[in-house]
Amino acid sequence: MKSRFALAFALAHKDWRLFWADRRAAALCFVVPVLLAAAFGAIFHKPASAGGPKLPLLVVVEDGGAFARLAANDLLASPRCDAREVSRAEANELVANKRAVAVVLPVGFDKLKDWEPGAGGSRPEVVLLHHPSASAERQWAEGVVTDSVMRRTAREAFGAKESEVAPPFRVSAEAVSAHPGAFDSYTHSFCGMTLQYLLFWGMESGLLLLRERQRPVWLRARASAVPLGCVVCGKALATAAVAVLQVLVTFAVGYFAFGVKVHGSFAGFVLLACAACALAAATGLLVAALGGTEARARNVSILFILGACMLGGLWVPAFLLPDWARSVQDALPTAWAMRGLEAVTWQRGGFWSAVPGALAVGGFAAALLALAAVRLKLAERAARNGGST
């Protein structure tokens, strides 16, 4: 038993040495996830001091009347919009380039000043110009314009004061979450990119084993009667060791440069990190076991890993994903790992909030490892009997 452990350790040590033999490639293993995490964090980052988002709005005034002028001024002064007045031609061009939504106050808009509730007859038509892909902004603009114009109409048509046109209720927003913390884009992206690159490292490690199995060194290993279990353990150990280092480096940079913190249980974070490293090791062994040629294995692995990362909510927060994507998340280890990491970081969850994710990821890792071990055993048996390796 002791000699088997020593053998597995020797194989792991060899992989560790091979990893560091190409120092630039090894450095990139740590630099790339940090760069990507920083980029994703910056994209989704909303500074706390900037207040809510403002609607970019273009105002086109085609009616020369005083009421239309006042309505336009209201829109231009609205704190909910980042509005400016332009010509119709300018508005068309900017909207086509998806820079903003435009509201056109048409000729005859001034008639609204004489409007009475229940009055029939023709009504002026306010036109909203929007890019086909900006339907959310169109609806937002419709709400802003309706509110602003109705207030102005009430004041002009009925002589109401500013305080009288205010809605008879107040709206207050309250964020509801299972955890008390506030969303932090950098924490989310560092968790996501770390997980993604753990899987990519697992793939690279698996491809190394695949290459070794096709090289003469494997003949020497076979001639020395090394048990397959030692090969599997050694590879898993080496992959997991580098993966742990990757987690440490990525989160250390995140902590010092971007303020990424484990606000919740640190023990839960460690548990999840260990489970994720085991998943990386199992992924690598599966790649080595199932891969035919290196090019084929690499392409298929990238497809699966990117798919699992995208659907698992590693790139963008899960609440931004469509319903169908969220419905498949329970079948993905990446989603479980991400939920767990988010729970113990920005959601400030305790140790037990990490346990379901860690158990699920550990379960996936064990299943993949078992599948890889069985497949490698069958492949070795076939190779010994004159089949292909």
Partner 1 sequence: MPLPVALELADVSVRYGARAAVCGVSLGVRRGEIVALLGPNGSGKSSTLAVAAGVLDPAEGTVRAEGQLRTSDPVAFAARVGFVPQEPALYDELTAYDNLAFFGQLYGLCGADLRRRALRALSRVRLSDRAAHRVGTFSGGLKQRLNLAAALLHDPPILLLDEPTAALDPASRDAVFADLARFRDDGHAILLTTHHLDEAESGCDRVGVLDAGRLVALGPPAELLRARPTERAVLYGHLRTVPPKYLVRAIRERLGRGAELDVTGRRLRLAADTPEQLGVALAALLAEGIDFEAYRTPAGSMERALREGCEVARV
Residues forming contacts to partner 1 in the complex (CB under 8 A) are: 3, 6-7, 10, 13-14, 17-18, 21-22, 215-217, 219-226, 384-387
Pairwise CA distance, residues 91 & 53, whole Å: 21
Residue 100 to residues 47, 93, 141, Cα–Cα distance (Å): 22, 10, 10
Nearer to partner 1 among residue 133 and residue 224 (C-beta): 224
- Whichever of 183 and 218 has its CB closer to partner 1, that residue is 218
Q: How far is the CB of 226 from partner 1 (least distance, A)?
A: 5
| H helix or E strand, kind and range, residue 83 | strand 81-85
Q: How far apart are the first and last CA of the chain?
A: 28
> CB-wise, 163 or 388, nearer to partner 1?
388
Q: How far is CA 277 from the centre of its chain?
A: 20
Q: Which residue, among 102, 101, 104, 114, has the nearest Cα to 67 in the 3D structure? A: 114
Give me the least distance between CB of 361 and partner 1, in Å please. 32
275 class by beta-carbon count within 10 Å (0-12 exposed, 13-18 middle, 19+ buried): buried
Q: Toward partner 1, which CB reaches closer, 226 or 244? A: 226
* Min CB(388)–partner 1 separation in Å: 9
Instruction: Report the candidate in 193, 161, 160 with the shortest Cα–Cα distance to residue 312.
Output: 193
What 3-state class would DSSP assign to 275? helix
Cβ of residue 387: shortest distance to partner 1, in angstroms? 7
What is the distance between the alpha carbons of residues 204 and 50, in angstroms, rounded to a whole number? 42
* Residue 3 Cβ vs partner 1, minimum distance, rounded to whole Å: 6
317: which DSSP letter?
-
Question: Residue 13 Cβ, how far from partner 1 at the closest point, in Å?
Answer: 8
Q: Between residues 131 and 211, which has the closer beta carbon with respect to partner 1?
A: 211
Torsion on CA atoms 183, 361, 237, 17, rounded to nearest 10: -40
- Residue among 128 and 221 whose Cβ is closer to partner 1: 221
